[in-house]
Chains A and B, each alone.
Chain A
Amino acid sequence: MRPLYFVPLLAFVALAVFFMVGLGLNPKVVPSARVGKPLPSFSMPELYDETTILSDDDLRDGRVKLLNVFAEWCVPCRVEHPLLMALAERGTVIYGLNYKDEAPHAKRFLAELGNPYTRIGQDKEGRTGIDFGISGVPETFVVDGEGRILYQHIGPLNREAILENILPLLESGGS
């Protein structure tokens, strides 16, 4: 047998592997177009002091941090909230993007479940959310000290995502 006779077989196996992998992918996951790119520019009034503005420049402070998109009306946000609280307790800087919410509702939500956020910007119109390329709430971004987006987590955070993807980035200092 000549080795070349195996070419069609190999081609078939390669295709089959592609298709098998493709079948296993979750079509619901919107690929992250923003990862590896700088933050979009934004300026949002702060939740607890509407005269202060939270802007993208505030996130370029040399530290790796999280930016979490949340809303009072979002049920999965309640599910992931204890994890955010735990992260905040171990010293992670978490910025909040309060997506299409009303300030009193958001405050009630945080008063009840605790506030893990260093600062919170209000995105009442949802435009900043779209600039970040979110496809729903909640979503969590890891942003490095220079304001580059390192990672985007879609949906409620879970233990595996934090341990495998988020903590290593936070601990490496983002480099």
Chain B
Amino acid sequence: MRTALRYGMAMLVALIVVGTASAAPVDEPLPDPAQEAVARAIMEDVRCLVCQNQAISDSNADMAQDLRAIIREQVVAGNGPDEVRAFLQERYGDWVLFDPPFSMRTFLLWYGPFIFLGAGALGMYWSARHRQTEKAGVSDSAPRSKKSITSVRAPSPMMIVAFACGLLLLAIVMYVQLGQWNVADRPAAGGSTTDQDSEMAARQQELQNLMAALRARLESDPDSEEGWQHMVRLASGFSDYGAVAQAYGELARLNPGEAQYLIGQTEALIRRARGMVTPAARLVMHQAAELEPGHPAVRYYEGLWQLQQGDELAALDVWQALLDDSEESDPWVPQLRSEVAKVKARRAPPAAGVEISPETMAQVSSMSQEEQLAFIESMVARLRERLESTPEDVEGWLRLARAEEQIGHIPDAVDALTRAREFAGPDRTSFIASELRRLQVLMDSQP
């Protein structure tokens, strides 16, 4: 559960901080499953440049998405795994590969242990032989004391060689038992989290300093429009929606004719109230409506307010009317449509085929965390219901497993994976097996 919340929060922060970056590249599986399998296999061996202990296949970083898109493009263009790896290596060096290739530079990495073992064995062999000749020399020339007998006794060279071989054999046996030849090594996750946490803290500190400087500047110059614009962006990065709302309020004061700042203030107030349309937010949005009657955002939040008052019918009326007045190309249409569908679905018995569409996901990310969790849980329950009637839908089970994991229901995720395994083709079995192993580890680490 905590991880789900953390994940959600990280997504939210990432959305806001990177919000102004241009649209993310398409991050969808390739239509050809064989090509997708090739691409995925490459991705699992490529280290993410941002969150370095993750492979790019399971990183949400922007850069990892870009690299995934590039890998898929290259696979489609007919490049084999080696060519794709060479492409990445040219840019980021051996470092990007979890399985670095053998070269002069990595020689010690691969053969170091054997060299040390060999050197140790040689050293022991040499010293043993040396002592034996010494002992022989001593016994020839003079009678030995009791003490010197014990101290001089050395193992025979044969014994040392046998010992070294035994050690080597033991290492090999242990590796066969515990290690996996084809699985990429990753440093323990525990250490890196604290490392990331401290880095996060440092970055937070840096932002905080910027914010303090900005606050001071605005205090002496409260009519600086630029300054308040910055405050909006910085405070959003902190998820400090109180400050965002204040900054928008000042911007609205400086630009009395413009509704957009009042809308911004409304949205910030709603975010601060974790998605609830508060009386204060309504007050501001009605000011915006006076400037710009029928503003779609105001109508949307009016509908949301109705919904939160428990009046689903009124909310549907408002939203449906807004949809009717909107052009198909308006940016809010897909989200609004899915929201309307959601309310309708809640009023009607669950539909047979529930899909978690990208629109729905986008809409989920705009909800408060409680709403999000409740909504995801209901979606997950419906997905499971549908899969019970079409159990051969392997991808469906995998999706369910991922969703269950996100909301912290690890045993249910394991169950879904087990169901997926029943019908999985040979191209998916190894993936499912590795997922099962991963979840097993997760379960063991959680009390």
Chain B contact residues, majority secondary structure:
helix
Query: Which residues of chain A are within 8 angstroms of B92 by Cβ–Cβ distance?
Result: 30, 33, 133, 135
Contact size class for A? 20 to 34
Shortest distance in angstroms between B331's beta carbon and chain A's nearest beta carbon?
A: 15
Contact B18 A73 (CB under 8 A): yes
Query: Which residues of chain B are within 8 angstroms of A125 by Cβ–Cβ distance?
Result: 22, 25, 66
Is residue B375 within 8 Å, beta carbon to beta carbon, of the partner chain?
A: no
Closest-by-CB residue of B relative to A2 is B130
Is residue A91 within 8 Å, beta carbon to beta carbon, of the partner chain?
A: no
Contact A133 B20 (CB under 8 A): no
Interface 1/0 per residue, A2-39 and B, CB below 8 Å? 00000110010000000000000001101111100000
Is residue A75 within 8 Å, beta carbon to beta carbon, of the partner chain?
A: yes
Contact B22 A112 (CB under 8 A): no
Query: Which residues of chain B are within 8 angstroms of A34 by Cβ–Cβ distance?
Result: 91
Contact B20 A30 (CB under 8 A): no
> What is the bound-complex CA distance between A106 and B199, given in angstroms?
27
Q: Which of B20, B62, B67 contacts A105 (CB 8 A)?
A: B20
Contact A102 B207 (CB under 8 A): no
Is residue A100 within 8 Å, beta carbon to beta carbon, of the partner chain?
A: yes
Query: Which residues of chain B are within 8 angstroms of A8 by Cβ–Cβ distance?
Result: 123
> What is the bound-complex CA distance between A7 and B127, given in angstroms?
12
Interface residues of B in 41-81 (CB under 8 A from A): 49-50, 52, 62-63, 66-67, 70
Contact B95 A71 (CB under 8 A): no
Shortest distance in angstroms between B227's beta carbon and chain A's nearest beta carbon?
A: 10
> What is the bound-complex CA distance between A75 and B230, given in angstroms?
11
Given A75-B237, A130-B67, residue A136 in contact with residue B21 (CB < 8 A): no
Chain A CB count within 10 A is highest, among B20, B50, B195, B226, for B20
Contact B21 A100 (CB under 8 A): yes
Interface residues of B in 1-60 (CB under 8 A from A): 17-22, 25, 49-50, 52
Given A78-B210, A133-B91, residue A27 in contact with residue B52 (CB < 8 A): yes
Q: Which of B25, B67, B95 contacts A30 (CB 8 A)?
A: B95
Contact A31 B93 (CB under 8 A): yes
Is residue A132 within 8 Å, beta carbon to beta carbon, of the partner chain?
A: yes
Contact B90 A33 (CB under 8 A): yes
Shortest distance in angstroms between A103's beta carbon and chain B's nearest beta carbon?
A: 10
Is residue B89 within 8 Å, beta carbon to beta carbon, of the partner chain?
A: yes
Query: Which residues of chain A are within 8 angstroms of B90 by Cβ–Cβ distance?
Result: 33
**Chain A positions near chain B (C-beta within 8 angstroms):** 7-8, 11, 27-28, 30-34, 40, 71-73, 75-76, 78-79, 100-102, 105, 112, 124-127, 130-133, 135-136
Instruction: Jot down 21 A-B pairs with beta carbons below 8 A, ordered by A.
Output: A11-B119, A30-B95, A31-B93, A40-B91, A73-B18, A73-B19, A75-B237, A78-B210, A79-B206, A100-B21, A100-B62, A101-B20, A101-B21, A125-B22, A126-B63, A130-B66, A130-B67, A130-B70, A132-B91, A135-B49, A136-B50
